[in-house]
Amino acid sequence: MGSKFIVIYGGSGALGSTVVEKFKSSHKVISVDLRENGSAHHNILLTLGLGLNEQGEFVENQLRSILEGQKLEAIICVAGGWAGGDASDPKFLSNSALMIEQSLWTSLISVRMGSLFLKESGLLVLTGAKPALAPTPGMVPYGVAKAGVHFLTQSITSGLPKDVKTVCIMPVTLDTPMNRKFMTHDDTWTPLEHVADILDGWNSNTMDLKSNSLCAIVTTKGETKCTFV
Amino acid sequence: MGSKFIVIYGGSGALGSTVVEKFKSSHKVISVDLRENGSAHHNILLTLGLGLNEQGEFVENQLRSILEGQKLEAIICVAGGWAGGDASDPKFLSNSALMIEQSLWTSLISVRMGSLFLKESGLLVLTGAKPALAPTPGMVPYGVAKAGVHFLTQSITSGLPKDVKTVCIMPVTLDTPMNRKFMTHDDTWTPLEHVADILDGWNSNTMDLKSNSLCAIVTTKGETKCTFV
């Protein structure tokens, strides 16, 4: 176990758990999620019902006490979910609230924690969605939240420690148990380990990264490439 | 006073009040805001502290009891505010929460109310911001919320009554008392009456409108044009 700290926001989700596994032998992993991830070295357990600002203050205080003045090497926010539908859906507003909380709030909190705790030249990763590069009539709540994350990534060119690299990954369909339950699997689905490998490459500076950019994660015949758009 | 109902969301703000004045002689105006607008025929008074879904349910119930089965001719959402800063600002998260509530929540609620209560061929107007067509490093909370409104406008191509026209106005600087207090006035500021005239033109079908589009409201030497982008 190294002494370098890394935050995985959404560390108990399908992708988050895979990323925690990837980094746990080389880093002190701090998972932030509603549920504990037993593989992480530290868990910051969120509670439902807090506002954006209150949730941010909670995470800030918890991080401050874990880090004791040390800095973070990276913050990787892979929190999120999916909810579709259009304005005729009775759940339109509750789904929108959920998507905003799961994707946009977590990203905003990650950005603020980056300003407070990332080291210089550290890494900040947010998670968007390739389909939200264009209007998303069939899944408005999801698209609006993800489009907000894209815009946020492109706008945070100041306010972070010197030379911090920021990037938004944009998967298409991840190979998660939940997606396998509801959709038919094909060879364009992205294995979670491929995403973790890309994150590891950026964090270790073995792979190039264009800061404040959006990076599409596209899998073809089981092979995954990331392309900056 | 006509018998045609119109909702002005944010009807007690600077722009909202001007729009209420514009329509009150020809329509039954329903103002939705935190404060009452004495010129409106009906006021739906919001309370702080509700979530997005709860606020939507409240507005829905109030509208249902005012309309008694009748339909709305138009919903014009001009609610909003401004908060700047980047991630280094201690108010980054509270400002983000405020911008999301003031611009994105109000727009989402307006869209949902549109699905429930607009007549066929009715008008739905949301309010974005021209500067948020590109990244907004100096005013991240504002930009993220407005970019979300832009994306929402472009995505709601289904779920609304037949032939409803939807548009997002994108002003640059409105000539409001608040802006005059904090900035130096020049002849690129847009008089509120000019915006109200445009909205009236669209509502009365005397001005063309491209649905699901963003419309920049730009004033040059005191003359205002709207351009679809």
- Name the residue among B87, B145, B158 with its Cβ closest to that of A111: B87
Task: State pLDDT tens for residues A20-36.
Answer: 999 999 999 999 999 99
pLDDT of residue B1: 45
d(CA B143, CA B107) in angstroms, rounded, equals 15
With CB atoms and an 8 Å threshold, state whether B159 touches A52.
Answer: no
pLDDT of residue A1: 45
Q: Which residues contact A30 (CB under 8 A, 6 or more apart)?
A: A5, A6, A7, A8, A11, A40, A41, A42, A43, A44, A63, A66
Q: Could you give the ipTM of this predicted complex?
A: 0.96
Task: State pLDDT tens for residues B64-81.
Answer: 999 999 999 999 999 999
Among B155, B157, B168, the residue to mutate for chain A (most A Cβ within 10 A): B155
Task: State pLDDT tens for residues A110-153.
Answer: 999 999 999 999 999 999 999 999 999 999 999 999 999 999 99
Please give the angle made by the CA atoms of B102, B108 and B111, to the nearest 5 degrees.
130
Query: Mean pLDDT, to the nearest integer, of A79-93?
Result: 96
Residue B169 and residue B226 in contact, taking contact as beta carbons nearer than 8 Å: yes
Interface A–B counts its CB contacts (< 8 A) at: 141
Please check the confidence at residue A174 and state whether its pLDDT lies above 70. yes
With CB atoms and an 8 Å threshold, state whether B86 touches A140.
Answer: no
Range of weakest confidence among A76-85, A88-97, B178-187, B212-221 = B178-187
A129 touches chain B (CB under 8 A): no
Query: Mean pLDDT, to the nearest integer, of B223-227?
Result: 95
Enzyme catalytic residues of B:
142
Helix (H, G, I), strand (E, B) or coil at A79: coil
Number of domains observed in the structure of chain A: 1
B13 touches chain A (CB under 8 A): no
Which amino acid, residue B119? K
Residue B95 and residue B83 in contact, taking contact as beta carbons nearer than 8 Å: yes
Which amino acid, residue A100? I
Please give the angle made by the CA atoms of B220, B221 and B227, to the nearest 5 degrees.
20
- Name the residue among A97, A137, A152 with its Cβ closest to that of B140: A152
pLDDT of residue A6: 98
Percent of chain B with pLDDT over 70: 99
d(CA B116, CA B92) in angstroms, rounded, equals 35
Q: Is the dihedral of CA A45, A48, A52, A55 positive or negative?
A: negative
pLDDT of residue B3: 72
Helix (H, G, I), strand (E, B) or coil at A30: strand
Q: Which residues of A touch B145 (CB under 8 A)?
A: 148
Percent of chain A with pLDDT over 70: 99
- Residue B46's pLDDT band (cuts 50, 70, 90): very high
d(CA A229, CA A209) in angstroms, rounded, equals 12
With CB atoms and an 8 Å threshold, state whether B158 touches A109.
Answer: no
Please check the confidence at residue B83 and state whether its pLDDT lies above 50. yes
Please give the angle made by the CA atoms of A90, A94 and A95, to the nearest 5 degrees.
90
Tokens 């364009």: give the residue. A188
B94 touches chain A (CB under 8 A): yes
Q: How many CB atoms lie within 10 A of CB A84?
A: 15
With CB atoms and an 8 Å threshold, state whether A112 touches B138.
Answer: no
With CB atoms and an 8 Å threshold, state whether A93 touches B115.
Answer: no
With CB atoms and an 8 Å threshold, state whether B93 touches A112.
Answer: yes
Q: Name the phi and psi angles at B94, rounded to 5.
A: -70, -35
Residue A40 and residue A30 in contact, taking contact as beta carbons nearer than 8 Å: yes
B2 touches chain A (CB under 8 A): no
Domain containing residue A50: CATH number: 3.40.50.720
Q: Which residues contact B206 (CB under 8 A, 6 or more apart)?
A: none
- Name the residue among B148, B154, B159 with its Cβ closest to that of A86: B159
Please check the confidence at residue B33 and state whether its pLDDT lies above 90. yes
B66 touches chain A (CB under 8 A): no
A155 touches chain B (CB under 8 A): yes
Q: Which residues of B touch A97 (CB under 8 A)?
A: 51-53
Domain residues for A146?
5-228
Residue of chain A whose Cα is closest to the Cα of B95: A53
Helix (H, G, I), strand (E, B) or coil at A9: strand
Mean pLDDT taken over chain B: 96
